[in-house]
Amino acid sequence: MPRSDHRSADQLRPLTIEAHIAPHASGSVLLGFGATRVICAATIEAKVPSWMKQQGVKGGWLTAEYSMLPYSTLDRKPRDISKGKIDGRTVEIQRLIGRSLRAVLDLQKLGEHTLWIDCDVLQADGGTRTASITGAFLAARLAVQKLLDAKRITENPLTDSVAAVSVGLFNGEALLDLNYLEDKDAEVDANVVMTGRGQFVEVQSSGEESTFSHTQLQELLALSQKGLAELAAAQTAFLAKHLL
């Protein structure tokens, strides 16, 4: 069955990256996975959380926040503040973004700095968390360069790149980088986070009222690895252009 956007099963959506979209952030990008568009910004504070000082933990910290703007979906999505609490999905994604970035960040080399990652979804068409992780790394790398240029740190604390992509079984076929129409009706969906060197950071996979075999899981992982290698190459090309 042809995909709604006429891609092949193993084809990423068009990737777009615009740098310096938020001038007051230490580093920022507007990243697009097809119609999904996310502003990812990194801000550096010259302090660490109080719990680190209380527990005598050395080095810096990274934390992430994620939100879907009210007009990012077809039906207006109320802001969390209007509900008086952050919903469970938002908390889950924020933690995933934070874990993904910390997997490639040497907190000792960051020094006594907190790197804040803010991911705000402008337009949602599936894969908002994977786009957020992929863009957040780029924003963080741009921010870290400012610390290096200002000689506030002596070594790059980012040990590798990190990116994420979705895969799933839709009408029995393994597909890469699901859009919303595919994601909402997928029998199985998964989000895979991987470093530029090909190491897994996280694999989230679940059957949606369905089950999947070991062979199908291996097929999904192989598909994700292909897409993630392409995303890592795109990140490298982007940074080569913007870290002159």
Please compute the mean of the pLDDT values over residues 57-70 and round it to a whole number. 93
Fold of 15-242: Ribosomal Protein S5; domain 2 (3.30.230)
Contact status, residue 158 vs residue 140, Cβ threshold 8 Å: yes
Q: Could you tell me the two tokens for 14?
A: 């068009």
- Average pLDDT, whole number, for the chain? 94
Tens of pLDDT, residues 174-209: 999 999 999 999 999 999 999 999 999 999 998 877
Contact status, residue 7 vs residue 104, Cβ threshold 8 Å: no
If 0-12 CB within 10 Å is exposed, 13-18 middle and 19+ buried, where does residue 111 land? Answer: middle
Domain boundaries, the chain: 15-242
Please compute the mean of the pLDDT values over residues 226-244 and round it to a whole number. 96
3-class SS of residue 220: helix
Percent residues over pLDDT 90 in the chain: 83
How many angstroms separate the Cα of 96 from the Cα of each of 91, 128, 141, 164, 170?
9, 12, 18, 11, 24
Tell me the β-bridge partners of 15. 33
Nearest to 176 by CA among 160, 187, 165: 165
Please compute the mean of the pLDDT values over residues 120-131 and round it to a whole number. 97
Gap between the Cα atoms of 53 and 64, Å rounded: 20
Does pLDDT of 10 surpass 80?
A: yes
pLDDT band (50, 70, 90) for residue 223: very high
Nearest to 96 by CA among 59, 142, 65, 52: 65
Which tops the pLDDT comparison, 74 or 19?
19
Contact status, residue 94 vs residue 101, Cβ threshold 8 Å: no
Gap between the Cα atoms of 149 and 128, Å rounded: 32
How many angstroms separate the Cα of 199 from the Cα of each of 48, 59, 145, 196?
28, 24, 24, 7
CB within 8 Å of 160: residues ≥ 6 apart: 104, 195, 196, 197, 199
